[in-house]
Each structure stands twice: as C-alpha cells, then as structure tokens.
C-alpha cells in the first residue's frame, strides 16, 4: 500500500504548522509538529547566537530524531499517512548558518549518524516569502522569544533555504517539491488561497499513489 509522508518546510513565520494542520484535517493524516516553545535555549539564542547556537541546534536535532523514530515505529509501520511541519534537513540549514566551523563539523557527523535510518518524506511543500512578509507574520503570532530576532538573520535564512531547496531538487528529482510564494498566497487568512494549495497537494498525492511512488 502506498503511504504519503508529506513535509512542509520554509523559513520562520511562513505558516508551516498552519498548512500541515489543514492537510491533516482534510485527509485525516497523522500530524507531526516540531517542538519549538519547549527549547530552553531559544531565548538565549536570539539574544546571543554565537554563545548559544550549539546547545539550541543539538536540542532540536535530538528531539526531531526522537519524533521521527516514533513516527517510523508507531505510525508509518502501520501504513498510516503523515504530514509534518518540518523536514529534518532543516537542522543542517540552521546549523551551517549559526555554528562555528569546528562545531558544525562535529554536528554534521552526529546528524548523519542519527538520520541514516530515518523515514524520508516523499512529498515536500516549500513555502517562501520576502523578509517583510515574514516579519509581519512573526509579529502577529507574538512569540516572546522571537521579538529579539535580527532581521538580517532572518533574511540570510531565507536565502539559505532557497539555496538548499534548489540543491535538493537537483539531488533528489524523484521527490516532488511543491513551491508556494507567501507574498502572493495567504492560506492563513484567505480560504480561496488555502483551497488552491490543498488542490495542488491533492493532485500530487493522487499522482504519487497512481504511480506507486510512496513506499
């Protein structure tokens, strides 16, 4: 039986959790949500990135590893579809930007060990937007620890995501990447935009099932 494993990705504030929830509710997929607020280092991280980046990234990596292990052992093994509001490759995007070179080398080694037998999503939804749009959405949701975020850091993150996704598309042509521009589509506040996005996702799922792409 084919089993969709969809992941929604993009920079901070783009609406990953909102969209993954909508997909989950539409298809009754299991929703996997990343742990953010529980990270005890985030407040310190945004105040002093150099000092607290390694602790922050290691916390995220270990928690995402545990989540994906549980998904593999409890959900996917039962042939139940999953939609997640992150792909674990985001760890490399953030870590490469924030960690010192020697820290990143150690981090990457740990990442490779932990992820070598992790389940791999077979559809990626990539959400992207301009810095202005992201800053507005971050302000609206009002997370306390994000108030001190440097716009320059977020802008660089936008560029890092674009570079990584472009590389990913070339390296993994077998995995469809659905791109949506958040400057043009507001699926949070506009139901017509949401239905458009869901329609594209539906068509991708149906195509994957018919071609038996999902394993």
Structure tokens at 189: 């506040």
Strand ranges across the sheet with 5-9 = 30-32, 82-84, 5-9, 123-128, 177-181
Q: What is the DSSP string of 33-60?
A: ----TT-TTHHHHHH-HHHHHHHHHHHH
Catalytically active residues are: 85
Q: For residue 127, which of 22, 11, 18 has the smallest C-alpha distance?
A: 11
Structure tokens at 171: 């390296």
- What is the Cα gyration radius of the chain? 17
Based on the number of CB atoms within 10 Å of its own CB, is 87 exposed (0-12), middle (13-18) or buried (19 or more)? buried
């Amino acid at each position: 039986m084919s089993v969709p494993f969809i992941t929604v990705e993009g920079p901070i504030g783009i609406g990953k959790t909102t969209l993954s929830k909508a997909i989950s509710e539409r298809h009754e997929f299991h929703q996997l949500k990343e742990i953010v607020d529980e990270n005890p280092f985030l407040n310190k991280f945004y105040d002093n990135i150099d000092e607290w980046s390694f602790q922050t990234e290691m916390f995220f990596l270990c928690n995402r590893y545990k989540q994906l292990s549980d998904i593999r052992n409890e959900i996917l093994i039962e042939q139940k579809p999953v939609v997640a509001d992150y792909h674990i490759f985001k760890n490399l995007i953030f870590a490469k930007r924030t960690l010192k070179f020697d820290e990143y080398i150690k981090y990457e080694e740990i990442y490779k060990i932990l992820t070598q037998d992790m389940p791999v999503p077979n559809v990626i939804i990539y959400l992207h937007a301009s810095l202005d749009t992201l800053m507005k959405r971050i302000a609206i949701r009002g997370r306390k620890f994000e108030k001190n975020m440097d716009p320059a850091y977020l802008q660089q993150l936008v560029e890092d995501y674009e570079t990584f996704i472009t590389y990913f598309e070339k390296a993994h042509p077998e995995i469809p990447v659905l791109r949506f521009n958040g400057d043009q589509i507001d699926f949070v506040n506009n139901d017509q935009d949401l239905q458009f996005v869901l329609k594209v996702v539906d068509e991708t799922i149906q195509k994957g099932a018919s071609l038996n792409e999902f394993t």
